[in-house]
Structure 1
Amino acid sequence: MSVYRHTVDRSSHREFLGEGRKDPYTQDQIKAGDEIVFCAGCKSAFLYSSWEAMGGRHCNQTETLAEFPDAPRLGNVKKLQKKNTILTVFCYLLVLAIAVLGYFIYQQRKRIKDFQSRNLDQGIQISSMEDTQDKVNQKIVDISNKIDLTLDDCYDESITPINLEEKVFSLEEKLDCFVTERQNLETEKNNYKNQRDAYKNERDTYKNQRDNYRNERDTYKNALNAYPYSLSSGSEVSYQGYLSTNNQETNPILYRLYIPQQSRFDIDLKDMEADGDFEIIDSQGNTIDNSRSTSSGSDRLRNFSLQSGIYSIKVWNHSSRKSTQFTLRIRRI
């Protein structure tokens, strides 16, 4: 394959020299008188020595141009690529500007539609307000008409002073009825108040009686504890007391009894509303006898014998939910 070589002439290749071409291989300035070769693929100008050094091959081919190109800047691929890049960037910017402009136009159209919609809503509101104003004006007219009718009625000749006096008298009678009814209610209220006070006084009386019973019980209890009581043959004694829910078997009421000689006795625990029990204990703490009934009312021991000595009668409340009064009767047979 022959290589076409060209000698650069100062006069005929003035434009080529004006481009300031450099050898792509050695980067040497191409000047007049140099022998050069044009690559047929990219039309780049090489010094012949450089072409030989490259093995006569460029752009994957070995062809060279047979004639010296007349068009200026032929083969300046880098500059063309730069121009293409600039052109591409410009196109991208142009497309972006068009897109931004389109979005701006879209937003403006949307705003215009919103303004139109708002103006329509405002128009509807204004129309509604005008209707409301008309209704208010109509109501004002109706009220004015009613006032005029009322004034006309006030000047009605059918209303005479006699009728007015009758109405006043009727109102006075009603007022008297109201006053009387109020007085009756006040009296009834006072009666209820007095009745309440009476109930309160009665309650306090019962409370005082209960306290008296308790005091009396304590008096008898203290007397019996201090002085063991002795009964003569055929005599009896009764004690009244009160059993609370706290007076269980472990916290009983104790009565002491002195027996000078062997005797027989009847003992009754009665007048109770709860289940009370009692038992007889000797001076050593031993239980002699007891009566534990499972029902309220009374417990008793009949005709039982006791030897001479000092005994305690233990009384307690078998119920943990109800308190009760009681009477303890002791009779020596």
Structure 2
Amino acid sequence: MSLPIPPHDAHPAGTPATAPGQHASRADSQHLQVSPSAVLERVLFEVKRVVVGQDLMVERMLVALVARGHLLLEGVPGVAKTLAVRTLAAATGGTFHRLQFTPDLMPGDIVGTRVWRPSTESFDVELGPVFAHLVLADEINRAPAKVQSALLEAMAERQVSIGGRTYRLPDPFLVLATQNPVESEGVHVLPEAQRDRFLMKVDVGYPSDLEEMTILQRMSVDPPAAGAVLDAAGIVALQQAADRVFVHHAVARFAVDLVMATREPERFDLFGWREVVEYGVSPRATLGLVAAARGLALLRGRDYVLPIDVADVAGDVLCHRLVLTFDATADGIGPREVVDRLLLAVPRPRVAPHEDTADGVPGAA
């Protein structure tokens, strides 16, 4: 399995592989043939040249990219959420638009609108900034509900409707949204339907003291810039490679059991959990667990998914989809604590999918 990507010196650091909205020309490069995991490793290297620390956030961004899933980043201001998304866009070479969500934003400011042309006495359609490969929705919870609903169609259907016509979004298309959990004034909580459209939600914390010193040394004067490793076609090739990652039925069963435990906790000896979990997660969570596990396995250099891959992404895939009861919230029980308890209660497959059992049947659990 190999992918065509430009060599290291095809483009200077900090410059995109192509002009916005264009694909790389044939004269651009003599392509190298390398494995998908090697391509992802190079993208990771370029991002880490700029972003200090935040390893989990950067890893989940790459997983979301190859899994075709949208990502929600939650953290206080100044912890490199916007910088990480912008750097990923530079490293992957696709078109990139940043949307600053504000209380006075209108749906047409995102998806586009019809414009009257007096010279032709007709309406033309001006497409909005959502038409890009990577869209950064900065402080998404500051926009009112009608703006969030306009983005919902783009995230779910990968299309927008303007003036009775439907316009397809580019492929690939990924929304990376950020939100601040601290402020409450002028903030609109994302509805459950929109949270469910995000493949993963990642909590972004503060850097350590060593990382803080590295940030000071690296970013205070002449900060580095990421070089382009891929183009839009390369991202699609990575996504297709992730689709081919093998998932054994025992691992798939493990993912299904995690989801079912949020809906029918008694089946897994989680008695009394009706007072903790009001609503379990939707079938999108099952699809998301497998898709994210495929992407993580590919990033780790494997063409098969292990149970640990599913367990590692379970918190990021399930937490924002869980609806806890008022009593659980009042008692200080959070979604992460619930998912950690689920991982202890739901048994994992006993044999890894790539191993053979004593009777010669591969992947028996």
Q: Which structure would you say has the larger Rg?
A: 1
Flag whether TM exceeds 0.5 (same fold).
no
Shorter-chain TM range is: under 0.3
With normalisation by structure 2, the TM-score equals 0.15
With normalisation by structure 1, the TM-score equals 0.16
Which of the pair is proportionally richer in strand? 1
